[in-house]
Amino acid sequence: MTTTTQHHPDDDLLLAHTAGRLARGPAVVVATHLEGCAHCRARVRLMDAVGGALLEALPPETLAPDALARTLAAIDALPRTPAAPAPMGRHPVLPPDMQWPRALRDCSATPWRWLGPGMRWSRVTLPDDPKANVFLLRIGAGKQLPVHTHSDCELTQVLYGSFHDGRALFGPGDFDEADGSFHHQPTVQAGGDCICLASVQGKVLFQGALARMLGSLVGM
């Protein structure tokens, strides 16, 4: 990913991620952003340091006399079967100069499926949350998604190429959080395909019956 990222998750989203409060779908999109963004990794390290300092400042609590013994007994009771190394997840064919995100290493994804002229999509399955609504979109140069808004929240990470949605230009490494406060129409810029990773909570609310039908096929 490029080092000239212009759009980042806000502090509330990063804090929820580092605290483990995000659902798995949004978390994997944020984790993918962090892979290529040194700026946001530094923000997360600062949040972790502040959180650690706050924990250190808390008054100590007295543990039960048998707390250590019970903890060790619980560890001894764990299965002893050695864990097999996690396999690399399957994924659709990518451009030669694009790498599969490490955050998706254990995930699988379907081959590219037709969505419309110059538009393809791939369902991403998270092994620890198969019902998470996560997918890849691959849109050709000059193509655009229908105008839409959102019933809840959609997180998008640009992996390849760029698009403009009427608000701003989003290029490789950029992150977008969209909700029902605006309507937009992402249009892929000239020069090649745009590939994005997205997590949708709620529904994408498309204008037009045909667009709504195609969106339902993806689970948007």
pLDDT at 149: 83
Q: How far apart are CA 100 and CA 106, in angstroms?
A: 11
Q: How far apart are CA 97 and CA 159, in angstroms?
A: 11
Instruction: Please say whether the beta carbons of 28 and 107 come within 8 A.
Output: yes
At residue 139, what is the residue type? I
CA-based R_g, the chain, Å? 20
pLDDT in tens, the chain (220 residues): 444 799 999 999 999 999 999 999 999 999 999 999 999 999 999 999 998 888 888 888 888 989 889 999 998 888 765 544 444 568 999 999 999 999 999 999 999 999 889 999 999 999 999 999 999 999 999 998 888 887 788 999 999 999 999 889 999 999 999 888 888 889 999 989 999 999 998 877 777 676 666 667 666 6
Per-position b or e across 58-77, b if 16+ CB within 10 A of its CB: eeeeeeeeeeeeeeeeeeee
Q: How far apart are CA 213 and CA 40, in angstroms?
A: 37
Q: How far apart are CA 137 and CA 150, in angstroms?
A: 17
Q: How far apart are CA 138 and CA 117, in angstroms?
A: 11
Q: For the whole model, what pTM was predicted? A: 0.83
Nearest to 26 by CA among 180, 153, 186: 153
Instruction: Please say whether the beta carbons of 67 and 172 come within 8 A.
Output: no
Half-sphere exposure of residue 179: CA atoms within 13 angstroms, side-chain side: 3
Domains of the chain plus CATH, in order, are 107-218 (2.60.120.10)
At residue 96, what is the residue type? P
